Each structure stands twice: as structure tokens, then as C-alpha cells.
Amino acid sequence: MSEYDDEDMEYSDQDDYEDYYNADRDVMSPPHNPDAEYFPVQCLSVDEVEKFLNELVEQLCTSIHVTPSMSKVLLYENKWAVQEVLWKYNEDPDKLFVASRMKTLQPVSVKTKKDKFVCPVCVGPVAEELGVTSLACGHCYCDNCWRCHFENKIKQGVSTELSCMALNCELLVPEEIVLSTVNKPNLRKKYQHFAFREYIKSHPLLRFCPGANCTAVIKSKESLAKKAICTQCETSFCFKCGNDYHAPTDCATIKKWITKCADDSETSNYIAANTKDCPKCNIFIEKNGGCNHMQCLSCKYDFCWMCMGDWKAHGTEYYDCSKYRENPQNGSESARAREALKKYLHYYERWENHSKSLLLEKQTLDKIKERINSKVMTSKGTWIDWQYLLDSATLLAKCRYTLQYTYPYAYYMDNGPKKELFEYQQAKLEAEIENLSWKIERAETTDRGDLENQMDIAEKRRATMLQDFFHI
């Protein structure tokens, strides 16, 4: 088990990069630019989204005089950019319809036999009362075959991508033809439901809330990789890709990182360890808190859980164990492979460690709530008096979450001055986070002013990193 005393950690700001900050800005002063994570969004209901989409459909119908179903196809195929559709229509209507899969360059002719239409699917003359339907491509089938085709596709979840039955024909079937042909109420309802979901997915300014059992749709003014927060269920996510928020790492990079972490060829070589030996007395140590400043219960040695180095060394220059050092002696192919794996494991271990620390610190938050409730019940203050403890734990989680996502960013960065600056800021942020975690775990004895000052430092370190490296 880990055990701590009440000493505070001290860090020196005298580094090679201090001149950079002192010359251009003061990292401890409020940032001049707005919050890099600020992203205004609207939380819409299903009815509000339908109204919004119908207004776009009506606008296009009025402008170029097409049916609502044709308008929906045009908008769906062109990411709901009304002005772009109008511009393309004015330039060349035929080209627009062909590109939107509403028209073909050379429509086929309908074949008849003795003035009787023979359906190519059921291969039989079609009775007059059954009817036939032909799309703009010229492919013609009896309505019964169309109905079977539509019903089978709808059961498979196909809606907006429902296309012609002909081989290699990708012409899309307008909504009005589908609804006029399918007569089963449950399938008609499914088709409209699936189509509505596809319309939302295809609109760059709309995004389904990924929260469990949440039916809200998030709408923004821009499609950016920023944090969107659903006001209905308070779920936060990246608006651009819909996955967990990942600043400062961009969507493409985090996708590569998650894929790499899930690859058995990499992770099978990594054994996630929750226990280590004390570097001084080799006694068995278990990490039971989020803070990486460890103290051996047996020999009282203070060390870093990540690099296993003397904790005092982390305060002499700056928090340096987050930086990866390459081995230049890697001439052979096997040596290069080992070095590549070593580099990956370095970043993966820190990524995974902060993920685990977030879970452990959530337990710390629950304990703080229990202690506050106990103090309130024994008339040792009100909830307002102790609110700063909850604020500090919330801020710690926010900072550590950002720090966790700096490791995929650093892993894919090229070596050079930019990466050196990034690692400097990453190290600074990590140092302040560990200091804040240390103080929060000793909230009973930590001075309130000292704790609030540490909160301010940690948040400004985080804001500085996002301003410098979180580019949209």
C-alpha cells in the first residue's frame, strides 16, 4: 500500500523554456484568447430537428422547383449545403442530378414483348392492374417486385441508400416511390425512421448525443473537433467524430492511436501492472490512489510511480519522466523493432496510468463528498463552505483527462523544436496535476488558500497547452 506524509511538493520553474514564456506572456496570468475548448451548441428534440430539416427541403423546393423527395436526395448527397446545391444547379443541372445519383447519362429503353411488359425479375407479363414503375435510369420492373425489393432492404436497415434493382445501377430511389409502393405500416414507419437518422448523420452540423438512452440531437454552427456537451444528459464528446473528447489530439490521430492500442500484435507484449517493487527496498507496492507520488510504507522512500525515480529529482528542473528518450544505437532491424515497441509502451503506459488514476480519483471524490456531508451534519460548516473541495476534485479530473490525451499526440509527433516545447508543457502540466492530486488527497490538512492557488496554476497550465497545440 502507498502512504504519504504532509509535505508539499515544490517545483522549480527555471528551465530552458522559461525565457519563451517570460518574453511573450505570463503563464500565470489569464489567457488573452477565449477558452480553446469553448463550443456553443444547441440541444434539439426530434420535432425540432424535423422542423429544421424540413425548412431546408422547402427552401430548395422553392428555389429550383423539385419535389420534396427529390430535394431530400439532393440535400442528402450534398451534405445539406443548400447554397452549394443551388450553385451546382445553376452551373449544370444535369451534372448535379447525375452526381447526386438521381439521373444517368444514358437511360436504358424499356423492353416490351407484343405490347406486353415483361418484368426482368419475375420474368412474366405484368397484368395491367399490378402496374409497373420505371426510375430515371430507365430500368423498369413490376410494382410487386419493387415492393419485395423495398421491403427486404428496409428490413436490413437500408433507407437513403436504397437504389435501383438493376445490376451495377446506383440510382437512388426517391422517398415518394418507396412510400407509395410499400403498404405495410410497420415497414413504412421503419423506413421513415431509418431515413431520418441517416439525414441527421449526413448533416455536418448535427450529431446524435452518444449518451445512454438519450434521444437529443446536438446542433452547432460549425463542424469542429471541440467538446460538445448535451444539456439533456450532460454527456460530453467530440462534435467532429462523435467519440470521446480528445483534445489536444486531432480526430485522425486519436483514431490511429485507439486502433493501435487494440491491435493484439502490440498489446500482447504489454502486461498492465497495478503493482511494482519499491526501487529502494524491493517491497511489494500497490497503487491505491490517483497521485503518482508514492511513499514506501516500509522504508519511507519517496519515488515516482511512472519512472520509479527519486521523487526529489522531479522538482530540481521540471517533471521530466513524461518525456521519451530514443536509443540512437538501433542499427539492426530487430533493434529498431524493439525500439519501436519500447516507444509505444512508454506512451501507452502513461496513457493507461492516467486513465486508471481518473478512476481512482473518482473514488477520492466520493470520499470527499462523504466527509463534507459528515461535517455538515455535525455543524462544522455548510456545503458552500466546503464547495472548494469538490471544485478542486472536478478540476483535477479535467486536467488529468487533458493530460491523458497528450500522450497519443506526443507519440505521433516528429522530433524537433515543436515536440520539445510540447513535452516541456506536458511535463509542467503533469507536475502541477500531481501536486494538486497530492494536496486533494490531504484536503483535511491542506490550507484552503494553498489548494486554490494550486488549482489556478494547474488550470492555466492546461489552458496554455490547449492554446498552443489544440489547433482546429
Residue of 238, 278, 291, 307 marked active site = 291
Cβ neighbours around 37 below 10 Å, total = 16
CA dist 80 and 339 (Å) reads 48
The three-state DSSP-derived secondary structure of 337-371 is: HHHHHHHHHHHHHHHHHHHHHHHHHHHHHHHHHHH
Please answer whether residues 1 and 288 qualify as being in contact, where contact means their C-beta atoms are separated by less than 8 angstroms: yes
Reported as type and span, the H/E element at residue 185 is helix 185-202
CA dist 94 and 353 (Å) reads 57
Helices (H) and strands (E) in the chain, counts: 15, 13
Please answer whether residues 70 and 174 qualify as being in contact, where contact means their C-beta atoms are separated by less than 8 angstroms: yes
Which are the contacts of 286, defined by CB distance < 8 A and separation ≥ 6?
Answer: 1, 2, 274, 275
Joined together, the cell numbers standing for residue 139 give 430500368
Is 291 an active-site residue? yes
DSSP code string of 187-198: HHHHHHHHHHHH
96: β partners: none
Which residues are the active-site residues? 291
